[in-house]
Chains A and B, each alone.
Chain A
Amino acid sequence: MTNVRSLICSFKTQFTVIFFALSNKALAEWEDLNMTQGATAISREVYDLHMLIFWICVAIGVVVFSVMFYSMYAFTKKKNPVAATFHENTKVELAWTIIPFLILIAMAVPASKTLQSIYNDEAGDVNIQVVGHQWYWQYRYLEDDVNFYANLSTDQDEIYNKVPKGENYLQEVDEIVVIPVGKKVRFLITANDVIHSWWVPAFAIKQDAIPGFINTAWTIVDEPGLFRGKCTELCGKNHGFMPIVVKAVEQDEYDLWIKEKQSAAIALAELTEKDWTAEELVARGESLYITNCVACHGPSGAGVTGIFPALAGSDIVLNNKARQIEILMEGVQGAAMASYAEKLAEVDMAAVITYTRRSWGNAEKGDGEIVVPKDIVEYKQNKI
């Protein structure tokens, strides 16, 4: 008996010492360990719900385990050689049916309230279509006719440990989604090939992107800031390499950004008119190839045996310019090779094709013909 007492006593002092020693440091680190409070009213509601339910679980755990450990301690065979013989106890049974029922109701009421406000799919002030692709996100600003693709911008050398990793390793993209603060932004989320999921923890948004369905999510961000997220539905080889970056800015900065985007699109279209040399196209095509094609066809055009064909030495790339344009414009039905007609402007399409025809010894082995933006325009016209 004394043994147990002194044991409990020493536990108590030890626990108190450890608790106070840890609490300052622990509180600081708690934020990192715990769910984020996020940056919106909804995300804070979700956080509060999470904490409420967490503490309810802790309380239940304390009650249940206290009864269990007390019974194990107080009713050993030694102390209690004759087992009780009673059967059933209506009062206790009623209590352990009704109390959990009430607890569940108490949790369901606030949770349903929040869920209801989350599933409000009325139009926002800004409406953005979000399309998941293998393996990047496409964003279309429905009112402003802005359309772009956000690819991972982390260097392959960082991924393959050849250079040190940057601060936002695997959390950075080449095109950031910009939204205005204080406005309702609605996201219309869908996918182009397989199921993806658009997840931005700071907005408490995690919504599946399913081909053929449009799921909605919305947010109102109070303060300017940069928010990062990722795809959370296994979508193939590069599932871990399609992050999301959203930047919330003041309204005037947002308007400016929209204007810039619109004029950049016009400038890109004008490049089609220019007369391009092979060298210029190859130079422009290299970075395009790295962002768009390396994931499947590999940095040296070697592909992946049995899944993604090699472009180095491919008969089509060597000698069949027309078929190559067709593949890039239309994609290959039922295969991972998607159409790039929408994703790449005419000049970029020409550049990336020319790059593959001129690299990895292809120029020497094949006809070495280049593709200029006019060829792509011609292809589009013939199609109509």
Chain B
Amino acid sequence: MSAVIENHHDDHGHHGPAKGLKRWFYTTNHKDIGTLYLWFSFAMFLIGGAMAMIIRAELFQPGMQIVEPEFYNQMITLHGLIMIFGGVMPAFVGLANWLVPMMIGAPDMALPRMNNLSFWILPFAFTMMLSTLFMESGGPAAGWTLYPLLFQLLMRHQAQPSLYFLCILWEPHQ
């Protein structure tokens, strides 16, 4: 027992959350994690929104304006995937992380370490998904519901569809 008390004294300087980046990487605090989700969602909202701007700019006048049809289809597909899985869902999760423990009077989320990891999967998933845009045959172009048959047909020419499957499969873990 006394050893514990001793330790407690030694640790005095290290109380409170870690500072700087470490705080956000290691945090198990539901409010910090909620904030991470909300900022992530905001970033995705901007990226997905920029894609929507490309779509609208293309449609601003009839005729081919600024992008080719293949790239246009990639934009509508990624815009849908990003807004739903990167924008709306993480925003809800962020709010829930913030509010639910306070509303039910719990000190934190259950399994706080997993709560942290659940968030940090997201940036990896979306980096992978967006990286397909820089590959030779471009990003997914079969609509955000990945229409069957069209999706399979495009898959024959693209190495990466397995990538976005992986990204989407990761999603539910949040």
Contacts and interface: CB of A to CB of B under 8 A. Distances in A.
A132 to B, nearest CB: 11
B9 interface: no
Grouping DSSP codes into helix (H, G, I), strand (E, B) and loop, the A interface class, with mixed when no group exceeds half, is loop
B90 to A, nearest CB: 26
Given A160-B63, A236-B142, 9 more contacts: A194-B147, A195-B150, A236-B141, A236-B150, A236-B153, A239-B69, A239-B73, A306-B157, A307-B157
Interface string A336-363: 1000000000000000000000000000
B149 interface: yes
A318 interface: no
A284 B153 CA distance: 31
Contact of B156 (A158, A159, A161, A335): A335
A331 to B, nearest CB: 13
A235 interface: yes
Nearest to B145: A234
Given A195-B148, A238-B69, A170 B62 contact: yes
A169 B64 CA distance: 12
Contact of A195 (B63, B76, B141, B149): B149
B20 to A, nearest CB: 43
Interface in A24-66: none
Contacts of A306: 136-137, 157
A170 B69 CA distance: 14
A193 B63 CA distance: 26
Closest 3 CB pairs of A and B: A194-B150, A194-B149, A306-B137
Interface string B82-111: 000000000000000000000000000000
Contacts of A160: 63-64
Contacts of B76: 234
Contacts of A193: 149, 153
A21 B64 CA distance: 38
B66 to A, nearest CB: 11
B142 A165 contact: no
Nearest to B144: A234
Contacts of A233: 147
Interface in A87-133: none
B136 A237 contact: no
A211 interface: yes
B143 interface: yes
B140 to A, nearest CB: 12
B156 A334 contact: yes
A112 B168 CA distance: 37
Nearest to A241: B69
Interface of B: 62-65, 69-70, 73, 76, 136-137, 141-143, 147-150, 153-154, 156-157
30 contacts: A158-B63, A159-B63, A159-B64, A160-B63, A160-B64, A161-B63, A161-B65, A165-B63, A194-B147, A194-B150, A195-B147, A195-B150, A211-B149, A234-B142, A234-B143, A236-B73, A236-B142, A236-B150, A236-B153, A236-B154, A237-B73, A237-B141, A239-B73, A240-B69, A304-B70, A305-B136, A306-B137, A307-B157, A335-B156, A336-B153
A239 B154 CA distance: 14
B150 A235 contact: yes
Contacts of B142: 234, 236
B158 to A, nearest CB: 8
Interface in A291-326: 304-307
A160 B84 CA distance: 33
Nearest to B159: A306
A238 B70 CA distance: 9
A97 B138 CA distance: 51
Contacts of A239: 69, 73
A160 B63 CA distance: 6
Contacts of B73: 234, 236-237, 239
Contacts of B62: 165, 169-170
Contacts of B63: 158-161, 165
Contacts of A240: 69
A196 to B, nearest CB: 10
A364 B154 CA distance: 34
Contacts of A237: 69-70, 73, 141
Interface string A239-250: 110000000000
